[in-house]
A and B are shown apart, each in its own frame.
Chain A
Amino acid sequence: KQEVTQIPAALSVPEGENLVLNCSFTDSAIYNLQWFRQDPGKGLTSLLLIQSSQREQTSGRLNASLDKSSGRSTLYIAASQPGDSATYLCAVPTNAGKSTFGDGTTLTVKP
């Protein structure tokens, strides 16, 4: 059974800092890994989808990396802004498509 862990559970940084969020998974036989953002009381917004054959995916100030062999993914956020404050979730789908989620990292960027 796939298990997904995100550490730390919460992170507070000053504006402008670069930061890394971590996601680990127990079963390395994955198809892809998806990073989401969730604002309080809202649904999930897809940020990046990284296929199992890829090592990295980039979108603007966001960069996601994937190391299947070690069961890890990182989300790098450059030059953080207060608007980046949210909970960041990673998810790994099974072959049926349903996803196993981590519990997220809640990021606070202080002005």
Chain B
Amino acid sequence: DTGVSQDPRHKITKRGQNVTFRCDPISEHNRLYWYRQTLGQGPEFLTYFQNEAQLEKSRLLSDRFSAERPKGSFSTLEIQRTEQGDSAMYLCASSLGAVRETQYFGPGTRLLVL
């Protein structure tokens, strides 16, 4: 068990470009969460999956954002037509499923949009 991994760890892009991030959860975990964190703030919920089903999306997730978890294992988060306001740390977490279970976080992907 190597924990939750995220790739890339850092991404610099120009405004208007598309970016995609990947998250690999702990292998037996069926819940996967995406959060966004800006400097000095706590993480904000974006979306989550139960296996391959995307069960909830925050209103923070505009139509430029899309997330998938095609086989119930890894997940991708894509941002189209990036804006400078998208600059943030994107965090992925996974858990065994029940709300009473601990969430384990990955190291995050730091995005900078120029």
Given contacts A44-B43, A103-B40, A104-B42, contact A98 B48 (CB under 8 A): yes
Q: Check B42 against A4 for contact (C-beta < 8 Å).
A: yes
Interface residues of A in 85-103 (CB under 8 A from B): 89, 91, 93-103
Q: Check A100 against B45 for contact (C-beta < 8 Å).
A: yes
Interface SS of chain A: helix, strand, loop or mixed?
strand
Stretch at the interface among B70-78, B80-88, B103-111: B103-111
Q: Check A98 against B107 for contact (C-beta < 8 Å).
A: no
| Residue total for A at the interface (Cβ-Cβ under 8 A) | 27
Q: Check B108 against A43 for contact (C-beta < 8 Å).
A: yes
Please measure, in the bound complex, the distance between the C-alpha atom of A92 and the C-alpha atom of B2, giving whole angstroms: 25
Given contacts A43-B91, A103-B40, A104-B42, contact A34 B100 (CB under 8 A): no
